[in-house]
């Protein structure tokens, strides 16, 4: 029932929280809302070691906004904004120098679930 349009991801220092953002749309182009989804879950994988670091549920009412967020300067993709945001805890991002992948699975009330993926390097911290 839904699909994503844009996501953002940047390299982050190890042991730091990482804010993930996306604009999630329905197949007809409408903005998805929290009520669109029966479940949202995540998995964080260290691609260098092939280890799943953590996984679990996310509350749709907490991570999905019912309107596009346009005032957050962290969103730099366009002026339209995002409607999904979640901060990955720094405790899940520990191995500096490794590549990480974060998968967020969206399960709509009706239709097939889909995954939005963010992947990138984790910077080593020397201080």
Domain residue spans in the chain? 2-122
CB 88 within 8 A of CB 21: no
- Tokens coding 60: 């749709």
Position 6 scores a pLDDT of 59
Of 37, 53, 45, nearest to 109 by C-alpha is 37
Position 69 scores a pLDDT of 97
- DSSP strands (E only) in the chain: 2-8, 12-13, 18-26, 37-46, 51-58, 64-69, 82-88, 99-108, 114-123
Q: Give me the average pLDDT of each 10-residue run along the chain (127 residues).
A: 58 88 85 95 96 97 97 92 96 93 94 90 87
For the entire predicted model, the pTM comes to 0.90
Tokens 């009706």 appear where?
110
Count the Cβ atoms, other than its own, within 10 Å of residue 34: 16
Whole-number Å distance between alpha carbons of 15 and 122: 9
Position 29 scores a pLDDT of 81
* CATH 3.40.50.720 holds for 2-122: no
Position 30 scores a pLDDT of 87
């Amino acid at each position: 029932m839904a699909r994503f349009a844009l996501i953002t991801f940047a390299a982050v220092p190890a042991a730091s929280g990482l804010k993930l953002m996306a604009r999630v749309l329905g197949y007809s182009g409408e903005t998805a809302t929290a009520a669109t989804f029966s479940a949202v879950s995540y998995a964080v994988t260290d691609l260098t070691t092939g280890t799943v670091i953590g996984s679990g549920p996310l509350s749709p009412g907490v991570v999905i906004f019912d309107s596009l967020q346009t005032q957050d300067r962290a969103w730099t993709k366009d002026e339209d904004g995002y409607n999904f945001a979640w901060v990955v805890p720094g405790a899940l991002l520990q191995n500096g120098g490794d590549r990480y992948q974060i998968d967020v699975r969206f399960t709509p009330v009706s239709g097939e679930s889909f995954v939005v993926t963010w992947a990138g390097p984790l910077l080593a911290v020397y201080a």
